[in-house]
Amino acid sequence: MSIFRFQQFSVIQKQSAMKVCTDAVLFGAMAPVTKGARVLDIGAGTGVLSLMAAQLGAEQVTAVELTQPGYDEAKLNFGNSPWADRLEAVHQDIQGFAGSVAHQYDLVICNPPFFENHSKTTDSLRKVARHNDELPFADLIKSADQLLSSQGLFYLLL
């Protein structure tokens, strides 16, 4: 089993298409999380950014993940963490989630699929994780705008 170990938590990453990488770890460490914040992680995958936000003091972190394997792994990683009571995994596309949620977030974080019109892999999970066919940039921006509080921040790794 592939496990990435941090000081305060571990991330099981056997099923998710995208594994923990340097970019994501640096992005999560630099996220402008304030104590008590409500944080939304779009495209959570293994849940590493959500876990880092909880570690940095977020009061509540919601992780929205489109793929079943990513959702399952994030949920498992959350349950194994010291912050299980502050982490929630949601298996849904962000467009639908944004249209169905009444509350807003102080911080939206996202390391989105970033390839447009690029040769695609035959691995369906990696294709969803790397190519923005399921999450075009316009949909990402619109969803973040719907879900952010008036003083909220959108933190994007692109």
**In this predicted model, what pLDDT tens digit does every residue of 58-117 receive, in sequence order?**
999 999 999 999 999 999 999 999 999 999 999 999 999 999 998 999 999 998 755 555
The answer to whether the beta carbons of residues 46 and 16 sit under 8 Å apart is: yes
Going from the N-terminus, what domains does the chain have, and what CATH number goes with each? 17-156 (3.40.50.150)
The answer to whether the beta carbons of residues 79 and 47 sit under 8 Å apart is: no
CA 75 to CA 132: how far, in whole Å?
Answer: 23
Reported pTM: 0.82
